[in-house]
């Protein structure tokens, strides 16, 4: 019997990436400390490390975090593990854009906690992993990213250097157009672009600043989705 490829979208509440994989036929789940903006999404609200090793499903269909143990409301449950994970770990204490605050964050341990969180994601026992973060200190504390992309490579009218650390996944294919911006100010879905940067990047709301651009989300789903389907072949739906 075929089963769907299971993918975890870690640290996402926008549903930009998860929903696209679901549309392609994947068993796609997200996890974040916040509720998913889509009330119908398959989503774990809470600590990603409670589900990073999988989740249990008991025979009545109820879902339990892997950390809760294998005994659900109906007794013994089935463990479902992840075939792939795309993660968006918090970047506030890692990105070079916040370098002015690094000394304080190093002294109070905030930055080390963010580093440890990132490394724990990177070392998860999942075959296919992608981690997204802005340019920051993880090139030093982990390794250099496999790829650095910009939203305008994928059709979004904005630039924001974004690093991808990849494990058993290919780099994203894109079209790079250096003269994309005919004007310094143009319109995107949530406001103006200022000198090529979307206005919401300057918003203090972390939800807005950390959202995934639609073009990048689409490329992840289409390209990595196709790659995973080719890898798992006829054994999976």
Architecture of the structural domain at 6-235:
3-Layer(aba) Sandwich (3.40)
Average of pLDDT values for 190-205?
47
In this predicted model, what pLDDT tens digit does every residue of 156-166 receive, in sequence order?
Answer: 878 889 999 99
Per-residue tokens: 35: 């509720």
* pTM given for the model: 0.84
What would the mean pLDDT of 46-68 be, rounded to a whole number?
79
pLDDT in tens, 92-117: 888 888 888 788 888 999 999 999 99
Q: How far is CA 16 from the centre of its chain?
A: 9
Identify the weakest region by mean pLDDT among 55-59, 62-66, 72-76.
Answer: 72-76
Confidence band (pLDDT; 50, 70, 90) for 192? very low
Structural domain spans, the chain: 6-235
> Got the DSSP string for 156-205?
-S----EEEEEES-PPPP----TT--SSSEEEETTEEEETTEEGGGG-S-
């Amino acid at each position: 019997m075929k089963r769907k490829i299971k993918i975890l979208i870690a640290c996402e509440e926008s549903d930009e990436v998860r929903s696209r994989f679901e549309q392609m036929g994947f068993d796609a789940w997200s996890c974040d400390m916040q509720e998913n903006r889509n009330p119908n999404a398959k989503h774990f609200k809470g600590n990603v490390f409670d589900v990073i090793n999988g989740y249990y499903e008991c025979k009545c269909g109820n879902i339990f975090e892997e950390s809760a143990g294998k005994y659900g409301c109906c007794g013994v449950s089935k463990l479902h593990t992840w075939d792939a994970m795309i993660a968006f770990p918090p970047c506030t204490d890692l990105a070079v854009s916040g370098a002015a605050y690094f000394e304080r964050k190093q002294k109070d341990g905030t930055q080390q906690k963010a580093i440890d969180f990132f490394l724990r994601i990177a070392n998860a026992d999942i075959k296919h992993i992608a981690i997204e973060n802005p340019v920051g200190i993880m090139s030093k504390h982990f390794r250099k990213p496999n790829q650095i992309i910009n939203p305008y490579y994928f059709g979004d009218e904005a630039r924001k250097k974004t690093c991808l650390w990849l494990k058993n996944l290919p780099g994203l294919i894109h079209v790079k157009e250096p003269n994309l911006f005919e004007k310094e100010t143009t319109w995107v879905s949530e406001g103006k672009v200022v000198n090529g940067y979307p206005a919401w990047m300057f918003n203090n709301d972390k939800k807005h600043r950390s959202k995934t651009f639609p073009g990048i989300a689409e490329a992840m789903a289409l390209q990595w989705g196709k790659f995973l389907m080719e890898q798992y072949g006829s054994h999976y739906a």
